[in-house]
């Protein structure tokens, strides 16, 4: 079963933190940070692989997976989990393919998070 685009329970928890802390921009700040991370991911990932640093590529995918899941972008977190698995298996072509194929999911996820 595919994960939902976003998990409303995570967003609700972050909104609760916003309310209890008196801050009104926690979600938007986290979404902006994730968006920036996503914008730089492919270039950095490709650079790691180009210099043969699979460990750094793996770490980058793992970090993105965690960032997505912590913000409730469930399907996007699953994409980066699959990329991480491909790197672990040494299948860098599959990892790159998943990144390229995931561009629509990335855009939909960011828009859903912005609306949440």
pLDDT, position 14? 85
> What is the domain-level CATH number for residue 45?
1.20.120
Is 17 inside a domain boundary?
no
Range of the domain at 75: 27-115
Going by pLDDT thresholds of 50, 70 and 90, the confidence category of residue 1 is confident
What is the CA angle 77-107-86, rounded to 5? 40
Is 32 inside a domain boundary?
yes
Which pair of tokens denotes residue 24?
């009104």
What is the pTM assigned to this prediction? 0.90
Going by pLDDT thresholds of 50, 70 and 90, the confidence category of residue 27 is confident
Domain count, the chain: 1
pLDDT of 24 over the 80 cut: no
pLDDT of 98 over the 80 cut: yes
pLDDT, position 89? 97
Q: What is the mean pLDDT of residues 76-104?
A: 97
Which pair of tokens denotes residue 102?
């995931």
Which of 16-20, 41-45, 83-87, 99-103 shows the lowest mean pLDDT across its residues? 16-20
C-alpha 67: how far from its chain's center? Answer: 6
């Amino acid at each position: 079963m595919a994960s939902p685009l976003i998990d409303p329970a995570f967003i609700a928890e972050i909104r609760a933190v916003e309310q209890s802390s008196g801050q009104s921009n926690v979600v938007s700040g986290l979404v902006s940070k994730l968006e920036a991370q996503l914008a730089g991911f492919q270039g950095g990932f490709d650079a790691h692989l180009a210099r043969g640093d699979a460990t750094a590529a793996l770490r980058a995918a793992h970090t993105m997976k965690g960032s997505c899941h912590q913000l409730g972008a469930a399907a996007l977190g699953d994409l980066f989990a699959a990329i991480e698995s491909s790197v672990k298996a040494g299948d860098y072509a599959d990892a790159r393919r998943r990144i390229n194929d995931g561009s629509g999911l990335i855009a939909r996820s960011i828009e859903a998070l912005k609306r949440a």
